[in-house]
Structure 1
Amino acid sequence: MPADPLQPFFKQRGWKPFPFQKETWKAYAAGKSGLLHAPTGQGKTLAVWMGPVAGALKEQPEGCSVVWLTPLRALAQDTLRALREPLEVLAPKLQVEARTGDTSSSVKARLRKKLPFGLVTTPESLSLMLTHDDTREKLAGLRAVIVDEWHEMLGNKRGVQTELCLARLREWFPEIRIWGLSATLGNLDEARDVLLGSAAEGAVTVSADLKKEIVIDTLIPREIDRFPWSGHLGTRLAAQVVREVEKANSTLLFTNTRSQTELWFQELLSLRPDWAEVIAMHHGSVDREEREKVEQGLREGRLRCVVCTSSLDLGVDFSPVDQVLQVGSPKGIARLLQRAGRSGHQPGKVSRVLGVPTHAMELVEFAAARDAAHARHIEARRPLVKPLDVLVQHLVTCAIGEPFEPGEMLREILSTHAFRDLTDTEWDWCLGFISSGGRALAAYPRYRKARLENGRYIVDDKRLIQQHRMSIGTISADSHVSVRFANGQTLGTVEEGFISRLKQGQLFIFAGKKLELVRFHQRIATVRVAKRDAKGAVAMWGGNKMPLSNELAHAMAARLRGEGPASPEMKAVAPILEIQRRWSELPDDRTLLVEHTRSRDGEHLFVYPLAGRLVHEGLGALMAYRLRLNQTITVSQNDYGFCLTAKRGLHLSEDIIRLNLTVENLLEDVLACLNTAELARRQFHQVARVAGLILQQLPGRQQRGQRELQSSSRLLFEVLERYDPENLLLLQSQREILEKQLEFSRLHDSLIDIQKREVQLIETKNLTPMAFPLWAEQFFATMPAGDAATRLEQMLQDLEQAADK
């Protein structure tokens, strides 16, 4: 495509289009769909937006031409700004608006009457649009759908929801072009094919050949314990962090959890109380208005430091940010690169990230992450296959908007990547589910949603339609409680499970403030600022720790083998590795290191597959079950390995170790050794909500608490288990919990890999530096805190004396 119609905008800015931008415009003009991959802050938005704009300059379109899907509502306003800028120069009459859950009711009402040239929305809001019978007519002029940050949705249910919505739009408008955007992804072509489904043939992948300079450094602790354990550094590096923040104009300090964000914000503020007006906090549970104030402060360069979580990982352009700090290992290369890209968020600028280790071995992880980033060994996102709860929700959505004929709808569903292998049995089950609730629930009218009329499925119950619209979406979380001052000012939300454990008058830390709980009633926690100078519990949120990725694990193993250039991280951790090597060996991904140690607590078997915390949890439980010692075996795990502890019986041969780590009868043994039935029962609550078995309360009704909702889902689970044990939602719950809790696919692959390795079985006199954190974690999990701390201090003294000999 000639760039002439777009030239005035670039000329005004003094910019010259990049070759990848021109390539994308050319592909769009030729009617192609595709995926664009480019580093953060290098012009991806203009690359996919200016093609439709150039087309509009020729066609003078009426109505909505472009739907722009964003994974986060928080990105909508920034996206609007970026899309409106070229239109102000090239086509002032063309409008772009946002329609998300944060959009005001007045704007939503206006958009219901007429859609603008460009509509920025989320997968949930697009699904909601499909429930209206005039949506096809209103989108009649649609030319393109652009899916921003596609890597963020690939591999989860929101991505599948997006696939289904795109299939509906393709069925309505076969000529539309679909483009995905991605910054950090290891499986680009697969990501493109998942996005486009059956329309992937002839599609293109455009990669920007831009060398974005990313500098990855690590903050080296002044003192490093020779026997470190996870988290023991805590905020001890806060003073060094403050000095790093002082060197920059604006810093984003990323943590891996919201609780960690709260802790670090308090710690930095206690060290620099004079920063009260220039330091802020940002995470998904803080009130939206507060988050927007923080984002605006970053754009204007008024904030020196923002402590945040993944809520600021994506898309938002904060050009003034010149430094990123990462507290704790990012556990993945893509995540580190994504966060690094938040600094120097402009073409030609250098992105900088400084790692802040929370334990000594994370020094090796940061060095390894830098190696893998420079080698472009980035994690792939694996697509999700056949989540039937998402499909049945989508079928009801479609039936509300336009009654559908089963055969036509099946062809549409089969055009998606997620459901391309859907069987006739599964399809018939889905139709039966939306029309009767399935075999066990057919006697209950409330589960009858769609009915067959003249060969088409239709939903016309107004109350049910309203409930379904309120329940659209796939994001599941613990029930949230609103935290408010008595004057009505909202601070944000915490999970009901956390707040319900607090007593009236008890202190807790949330949204950067020390608060006192005044009362908790009808899912509203009324608070006041605490006047007492006492310690408070930091608000906690559910969720597992992120496991080490395969790519980072391999890079770490290479570092432990001595590969890679000299680095300050490896120099700092050398004394720990020297003791490990002297007493045992360094773990590796080519051999399987196993240490057998005796202590006054019994026998310990330490196994180091380097496969990540979740896999090690499964491997530890599996091996303990298979050994069948007829005594209690305690299991602990971290990202590097797992530990079995028993009074006796763990002095094993290499053959027995290998025999107990095979894939033979893997699924049966995992189901037998873990309480997967209870875990699946809990997971069923989320599946049931997405599938529509549990619906949102209508406005004006008293909201049910989490305990009541869990009770409802538990009852449903038991009914289905008893009267319809082959129900596909039950099987899906079990499958999801295996992947979510244990990364079952990775567990299976790890066992195959272990069988190829040589087993290094070493009898050790003392706990090695790699073994000590596993031993310590076990003690803190099984003993009272005071007793565990005393025992740990004694063990540390013994190990330090042994190391000095």
Structure 2
Amino acid sequence: MHDRVEAWFGARGWRPFDFQREVWRAYASGESGLIHAATGTGKTYAAWMGPLIESLNDTPVVRKARRRADALPLRVLWITPLRALAADTEQALRLPVDELGLPWTVESRTGDTSQARRARQRERLPTALVTTPESLSLLLCRKDSAALFADLRCVVVDEWHELLSTKRGAQVELALARLRQLRPTLRTWGVSATLGNLDVAAQTLLGYTNTGAPRTPRLVRGIVPKDIEVEALVPETMDRFPWAGHLNTKLLPEVMQRLAQAESAIVFTNTRSQCEIWFQSIIAANPSWFEFTAIHHGSLSRAQREDVEDGLKSGRYRVVVATSSLDLGVDFTPVDLVMQVGSPKGVARLLQRAGRSGHSPGRVSRIVCVPTHAFELVEVAAARDAMRAGAIESRDPVDRPLDLLAQHLVTLALGGGFTRAGVLAELRTTRAYRDLTGDELDWVIDFVTRGGEALRAYPEYAKVVCVDGVYIVTDRRVALRHVLNIGTIVSDAAIAVRYLKGGRLGTVEESFVSRLSPGDRFIFAGTPLEFVRLRDLTAWVRKAKGMSGAVPRWQGARMPLSTELAAAVRDKLEEARRGEYLSPEMRSVKPVLLMQAERSVIPRPDELLIERTETRDGHHLFVYPFEGRLVHEGLAALCAYRMAQLQPFSFSFSCNDYGLELLSPERAPLEEALEAGLFSITHLLHDVTHSLNAAELARRQFREIARVAGLIFSGYPGQSKSVKQLQASSGLLYDVFVNYDPENLLVAQARREVLERQLEASRLGRVLDRLSRATIRVVDVERPTPLAFPLMVDMTRAKLSTEKLADRVKRMTVAAEKPTKSGVMSVFRIDETVTKLMGPSGGER
């Protein structure tokens, strides 16, 4: 039946690629694996045609089902990470089914699915179901789940790289483990792009057999060449003392010029707030563009998102300003230009977004980066080099999240029940729970059956009961609350935004709305709005005149430099240190780097630069590891803590992706701290937890864990609890566990997640290991250098003042531009046996 599929491809002017045929043959032979290919090169049909060919072979003479009841039962599950992708994926999958005349139905089931379709699916699922991890878990809650998946033959996990390193990825692992117990011959295929550790990704997807042996994945690499062109808009003049946000919309004229030349374009931003700003800036620059320019991000209503997606594909919208909501999956063939506002912060993200243009085999993908400050030009040049070298970020799977396990056990108890021995064997077929101990499982079972040691007196935490060795749920209220609480996505409470006269615009976070007073204006969905009142978890608004107003703020806006891109940035600075400015971006930023070299130095990759100066604000230490914001936040707190152990001090600090600033009223004991092991990895865990208020951070992190584990309930539809209520409930539980159940494994998980997710402790340890072998250059400078200036601006932002930030920065720039003498430099070479303090001429002092 390959011939019929080949003919279908030919009728559309296509020809299957060799890697697609390889997947079809592997599927036919019963294999599972991972498909890795560039965006827009045919990964979807590589995974999809195998099941269709199998169906054609089963029934060579086929006729499309006229009625739903005549269609084949559920055969394929297609898991997508974003519900926004489901509709487009459903359409792409249905096309060959209809044209080949197969008796299949193809539908989607997500949080956006209508109640009518849900009711129909409760009676009978389609032959192929496009769904999310959360909706799949809901299907596993059904008591008839074994019968539901009786004919299931294949699961395809789309965009596996987006799920891999998250709890949602572990949720998929758990679901797959259950499906394999129901259907031992089940085939699993992952679809991925822009991923470094493919072997780990493939093994995580397939897991292990019941005997403990790893399943052997088939790794299929798409070898279709995909040309990607990366360039940056370079401002005509470059300030020698740049600061974050300074260029922001100043490059708007150049952006407008490029957009005018494109047939269709997507302008990507890193945050939803920035998305709103750029959309209104484009419209303000040319109001006539309003008819064909749109905005797209995850907080907009489903109807508006779908309208934008359809309009982009049909050509009705020529320009769309978007966030990561358009990063994945959706096929926008007409798009010939992608623009990226700000640094992509990672090589994989750059490739992913570039692939949105020229989204078909043989076409060139083009991406134009728009820097928001001068040093982002270095990041663009570095990202291009890393992309050509194939330095793609790896994503590590999560390890044993017990809050998710507690949730999953309730799911299994609802879906027919489980036994201890059976569930332990099943869990150990996943990578996430491969090393789960019997004691840990017993603790989680005790937690879901009686609330654990601390909550055993409260019946509401006894969700699961054991009947003849089988754990089941018997309380309907427990079942209802569980299905409403299922999943791992936890965020600030979503407040609906509606017009007084009707019409839903989308959602904003409660923390933003709580700061608004009646009459306040803000921009949302590209529209100026006036806040009227907050009632029933709805912000009621009316349209306002003019485009001025606050812009909503959403959580999750901080994206640090990836390890690979940070290393590439250090390499570009080394080229500049040698006087090599090989790309347009580096030549543009050359005056800034020459000023840096004149006042201080440009550090080598094996050096750590520390600048020291004094202003009327106090004594400044600027440290430049070039390792990303989150690592620098942990490192700043660690350095302040360790220096304070030598001499009592109070510090304030600021961080960006390149370095950190420590500001103190008195001169810090830097030399003494270096000799005492300031950057040593010794006692790292102890010092990190004491340098920050780790207990308070863990307390806040526990809210997410408590919600996932089912300790707290977010509320029924239309009656959601506020963040303050949830935080109070989780905080009370946290205190109870700390005081009366100190061995509670969920508390231990909260502490571990704080270290890994908020402080990147593992990466911090690797950075300290690198710095402990580095040559440390301490330079006393008369005035701040270009590298130090943005850190000083960030520190200034936090100060209360009636003066506008731009005016303060202008005054700071004038002061910084004054000529200075060359910095006085000390060189520290630190290893296990010797510490030398070297003067500028190289002699010891």
Q: TM > 0.5 between the two?
A: yes
1:680 aligns with 2:698: yes
Provide the secondary structure at the position in 2 that maps to 1:276.
Answer: helix
Name the residue aligned to 1:273. 287
1:458 aligns with 2:472: yes
1:750 aligns with 2:767: yes
- Determine the C-alpha separation between the residues in 2 that align with 1:280 and 1:100: 24
Q: Is this contact kept in 2: 1:588–1:609, CA < 8 A?
A: no
Spell out, residue by residue over 1:328-354, the C-alpha distance to the aligned partner (whole angstroms, 9 max, x if none): 001000001000000000110000000
In structure 2, relative to structure 1, the CA distance for the partners of 1:298 and 1:789 (3 Å cut) is closer
- Determine the C-alpha separation between the residues in 2 that align with 1:794 and 1:656: 34
1:88 aligns with 2:98: yes
1:368 is matched by which residue type in structure 2?
A
- Determine the C-alpha separation between the residues in 2 that align with 1:774 and 1:732: 33
Deviation of residue 63 (structure 1)?
1.1
Which of 727, 730, 733 pairs up with 1:716? 733
1:784 is matched by which residue type in structure 2?
S
2:667 is matched by which residue type in structure 1?
G
- Determine the C-alpha separation between the residues in 1 that align with 2:154 and 2:82: 20
Q: Is this contact kept in 1: 2:273–2:554, CA < 8 A?
A: yes
2:715 is matched by which residue type in structure 1?
Q
Q: Is this contact kept in 2: 1:661–1:751, CA < 8 A?
A: yes
In structure 2, relative to structure 1, the CA distance for the partners of 1:598 and 1:697 (3 Å cut) is closer
1:122 aligns with 2:122: no
Name the residue aligned to 2:65. none
Residues 392-403 of structure 1: pairs in structure 2 closer than 5 A: 392-403=406-417
- Determine the C-alpha separation between the residues in 2 that align with 1:712 and 1:521: 23
- Determine the C-alpha separation between the residues in 2 that align with 1:295 and 1:32: 35
Deviation of residue 785 (structure 1)?
5.5
Provide the secondary structure at the position in 2 that maps to 1:782.
Answer: coil
Deviation of residue 296 (structure 1)?
0.5
Deviation of residue 599 (structure 1)?
2.2
Deviation of residue 625 (structure 1)?
0.8
Deviation of residue 657 (structure 1)?
6.2
Which of 592, 597, 600 pairs up with 1:581? 597
In structure 2, relative to structure 1, the CA distance for the partners of 1:7 and 1:787 (3 Å cut) is closer
Q: Is this contact kept in 1: 2:527–2:547, CA < 8 A?
A: no
Name the residue aligned to 1:209. 223
Deviation of residue 598 (structure 1)?
2.2
Name the residue aligned to 1:355. 369
Name the residue aligned to 2:663. 645
Q: Is this contact kept in 1: 2:264–2:335, CA < 8 A?
A: yes
1:259 aligns with 2:276: no
1:169 aligns with 2:179: yes
Q: Is this contact kept in 2: 1:8–1:89, CA < 8 A?
A: no
Deviation of residue 762 (structure 1)?
1.7
2:401 is matched by which residue type in structure 1?
P
Name the residue aligned to 2:47. 48
Deviation of residue 59 (structure 1)?
2.0
Name the residue aligned to 1:517. 531
2:567 is matched by which residue type in structure 1?
H
Name the residue aligned to 1:611. 627
1:32 aligns with 2:31: yes
Which of 490, 493, 504 pairs up with 2:518? 504
Which of 554, 561, 583 pairs up with 1:567? 583
- Determine the C-alpha separation between the residues in 2 that align with 1:439 and 1:118: 44
Provide the secondary structure at the position in 1 that maps to 2:453.
Answer: coil
2:659 is matched by which residue type in structure 1?
G
Provide the secondary structure at the position in 2 that maps to 1:235.
Answer: helix
Which of 533, 544, 551 pairs up with 1:538? 551
Deviation of residue 647 (structure 1)?
2.4
Q: Is this contact kept in 2: 1:340–1:353, CA < 8 A?
A: yes
Deviation of residue 417 (structure 1)?
0.3
1:558 aligns with 2:568: no
Q: Is this contact kept in 1: 2:259–2:319, CA < 8 A?
A: yes
Q: Is this contact kept in 2: 1:658–1:755, CA < 8 A?
A: no
Q: Give aligned-pair identity as a percent.
A: 51
Name the residue aligned to 2:796. 779
Which of 714, 724, 747 pairs up with 1:730? 747
Q: Is this contact kept in 2: 1:367–1:570, CA < 8 A?
A: yes
With 82-91 and 429-438 compared, the bigger mean Cα shift is at: 82-91
Which of 371, 393, 398 pairs up with 1:384? 398
Q: Is this contact kept in 2: 1:256–1:327, CA < 8 A?
A: yes
Name the residue aligned to 1:144. 154
Provide the secondary structure at the position in 1 that maps to 2:454.
Answer: coil
Deviation of residue 798 (structure 1)?
2.3
1:626 aligns with 2:642: yes
Q: Is this contact kept in 1: 2:424–2:438, CA < 8 A?
A: no
Provide the secondary structure at the position in 2 that maps to 1:659.
Answer: coil
Deviation of residue 145 (structure 1)?
0.4
Q: Is this contact kept in 1: 2:643–2:669, CA < 8 A?
A: no
Residues 174-253 of structure 1: pairs in structure 2 closer than 5 A: 174-199=184-209, 200-253=214-267
- Determine the C-alpha separation between the residues in 2 that align with 1:657 and 1:552: 31
Q: Is this contact kept in 2: 1:37–1:205, CA < 8 A?
A: yes
Provide the secondary structure at the position in 2 that maps to 1:449.
Answer: coil
1:802 aligns with 2:802: no
Name the residue aligned to 2:63. none
- Determine the C-alpha separation between the residues in 2 that align with 1:278 and 1:524: 30
1:286 is matched by which residue type in structure 2?
L
Provide the secondary structure at the position in 1 that maps to 2:196.
Answer: coil
Gaps of 5+ in 2: 60-70, 823-845
1:155 aligns with 2:154: no
Q: Is this contact kept in 1: 2:643–2:673, CA < 8 A?
A: no
- Determine the C-alpha separation between the residues in 2 that align with 1:791 and 1:316: 44
- Determine the C-alpha separation between the residues in 2 that align with 1:514 and 1:176: 52
With 57-66 and 133-142 compared, the bigger mean Cα shift is at: 57-66
- Determine the C-alpha separation between the residues in 2 that align with 1:704 and 1:249: 46
Spell out, residue by residue over 1:604-641, the C-alpha distance to the aligned partner (whole angstroms, 9 max, x if none): 11111111000001111111111113232121111011
Gaps of 5+ in 1: none
Q: Is this contact kept in 2: 1:481–1:496, CA < 8 A?
A: yes
Deviation of residue 711 (structure 1)?
1.5
Q: Is this contact kept in 2: 1:198–1:415, CA < 8 A?
A: yes
Spell out, residue by residue over 1:651-670, the C-alpha distance to the aligned partner (whole angstroms, 9 max, x if none): 63387267111111111111
Spell out, residue by residue over 1:45-79, the C-alpha distance to the aligned partner (whole angstroms, 9 max, x if none): 11111111111112249411111101111111111
Name the residue aligned to 2:608. 592
2:292 is matched by which residue type in structure 1?
V
1:543 is matched by which residue type in structure 2?
G
In structure 2, relative to structure 1, the CA distance for the partners of 1:220 and 1:804 (3 Å cut) is farther
In structure 2, relative to structure 1, the CA distance for the partners of 1:659 and 1:544 (3 Å cut) is farther
| Structure 1 segments (4+ residues) deviating >6 Å | none
Q: Is this contact kept in 1: 2:271–2:557, CA < 8 A?
A: no
Which of 383, 387, 409 pairs up with 1:373? 387
Deviation of residue 682 (structure 1)?
1.3
2:551 is matched by which residue type in structure 1?
V
1:310 aligns with 2:324: yes
Name the residue aligned to 2:68. none
Name the residue aligned to 2:562. 549
Q: Is this contact kept in 2: 1:654–1:759, CA < 8 A?
A: no
Q: Is this contact kept in 1: 2:369–2:380, CA < 8 A?
A: yes
Residues 15-30 of structure 1: pairs in structure 2 closer than 5 A: 15-30=14-29
- Determine the C-alpha separation between the residues in 2 that align with 1:723 and 1:651: 42
Aligned length: 802
1:742 is matched by which residue type in structure 2?
L
1:51 is matched by which residue type in structure 2?
G
In structure 2, relative to structure 1, the CA distance for the partners of 1:803 and 1:365 (3 Å cut) is farther
Structure 1 vs Structure 2 CA RMSD: 1.7
Which of 774, 778, 782 pairs up with 1:765? 782
TM-score, scaled relative to structure 1: 0.97
